[in-house]
Amino acid sequence: MAEETILESTQRTSGREALRKNVQAAIALAGAVRSTLGPKGLDKLLVDDQGRTLVTNDGVTVLETARVEHPVAKMIISASSTQDRVARDGTTTTVVICAEMLRNAWQLVRQGVHPATIARGFAQAEQFSLDALGELVIEANVEQIQAAIETSLAGKLDQAMEKHLAKLSLEAGELILSNGRADPTRVKVIKQSGGSMLDTTLITGLALAKSRIHPEMKERGGPGSILILDGGLERRQPHLDTKLNITSAGMLDAFRKAESKSLLSQVDNLVEIGCNMLVCKEGVDEEARQALANHGILTYRRVEKKDLDLLSRSCGANLVPDAGRATKQDLGAFIKTREELRGGINHWILDAEDSGATLIARGSTDGVIDEVERCFADGLGVACQLLEEPVLLPGAGATQVALGRRLRRHAESVPGREQMAIEAWADALESIPRALATNAGYDGIDSLLKLTAAHSLEGDFIGLDLIDGEPKDTISRGVFEPLKITKQAISGATEAAISILRIDDVLWAQMDAQVPDEAQEMLQGFGAE
């Protein structure tokens, strides 16, 4: 009676019923993205409440865009988002494996196996699989790295564009590789409508859609020094409403001359400290513009703050608020600068020691360009991983089947009911080759059986060829997946599944009806009368 009083505003589900509903939510979530898996996966059309559309093959984009209210579904989406942030690929794989683990766990619970026992078995299977991956790794060369990037993009765009983006991703990764580390944030993306996706290009250096402020300034030059101004060279505007009381005819001229002198003194300071290029966040006055041109200081204005930060990092320059107080220590260095016309738009391109690269994404519509940008980001993330750690695994379901066979042999040596959980975990892992086959139009179970038989005869590097549905060698076909992606997918899916298995009570607080403020005021007014 006391419990009912305490929880009178809460809907409670406990025991097996709570687990059943949680498993149903996970299976429904996986069903929403399963058909996007693999090179033969299909796209999803997402429509928001304002009628805007988005067509994508990216599982995490589908899940993060959709409105999901169930807390368990949100837990799995969080695991998928972590997979995307850490590994840039394998987001759909994480969701599918997690849902299959929970589906198999539910069958064991119905047979009388306690969820805690299943969780222990899952944890053992995860650790065994992570250790066993070392037996399947391949030391990758450059051609295999590019093939792995193409595999990660398979099914997201047409084949020609996948190859093109994979090539650009690898080139960008090599440009930003420094001391064994590659930072994807050093690659800038510029979107341009018009043309084909294949018109997408990569520029060495930092490119901005800008032109020099004066035609007399040289558009090419270098090496030299650069100053980055977090402001502008303009006549100062009063911050408050003020009035100037002009009592004589010469006062206004004197006031303007003082402003001009202030501007020119700032330009003189730039000349004195040896500045060859000036980049401003805000505008440049006409008088200062001419003075800068006379002194040969190449100048660009109205550059966004994020681009100023990129320039600062690339050139080693400090952001200064006032050109008049800038010092030699605030200057950075650039190697060369140039302007080029690309796609009918003038681009200023700067090469510096750490300038990285710039991708100009092209496409017929804004939606296509956005998808190109997302795919390039995924390809670049995979490229950076493999350049830092060039280790691959066989793709096309080969790794999952190889791990499944090892897990079943390992389960025979495990006494107790954890053995059943390990076998259920192995079944969940093999849901990936089943889904790949189904999305390609083949029977998932038949394809998995053929692939398992081929592994017993020909070894661990046999995967499913989705062209004819037959098991074939993955190395000769160039179908790989990065080790980091598989590790993260296994860990993320298992941890999410164990967390959900340990839930045996779900308490839903019933929300009171919300009354808009305007209506509340009207009701209070009626009460006062």
> What sign has the CA pseudo-torsion 494, 496, 499, 505?
negative
Which one-letter DSSP state was computed for residue 147? H
Q: Which of 82, 92, 94, 151 is catalytic?
A: 92
Q: Which of 91, 337, 358, 399 is catalytic?
A: 91
Q: Is 58 marked active-site?
A: yes
In sequence order, the β-bridge partners of residue 139 are 391
Estimate to the nearest angstrom the gap between the alpha carbon of 259 and the chain centroid: 48
Q: Which of 36, 56, 58, 427 is catalytic?
A: 58
On whether the CB atoms of residues 360 and 203 are closer than 8 A, the answer is yes
Q: Please name the residues in contact with 59: beta carbons below 8 A apart, sequence gap of 6 or more.
A: 33, 36, 37, 80, 91, 92, 95
Q: Which of 84, 89, 307, 378 is catalytic?
A: 378
On whether the CB atoms of residues 86 and 491 are closer than 8 A, the answer is no
The full 3-state SS of 469-508, as one line of letters, equals CEEEEHHHHCCEEEHHHHHHHHHHHHHHHHHHHCCCEEEE
Q: Give the dihedral of Cα atoms 380, 384, 390, 395; nearest 10 deg.
A: -30
The full 3-state SS of 2-14, as one line of letters, equals HHHHHCCCEEEEE
Q: Is 91 marked active-site?
A: yes
150, HSE (Cβ side, Cα atoms, 13 Å): 17
Q: Is 94 marked active-site?
A: no
On whether the CB atoms of residues 424 and 121 are closer than 8 A, the answer is yes
What residues are labeled active site? Answer: 58, 91-92, 378
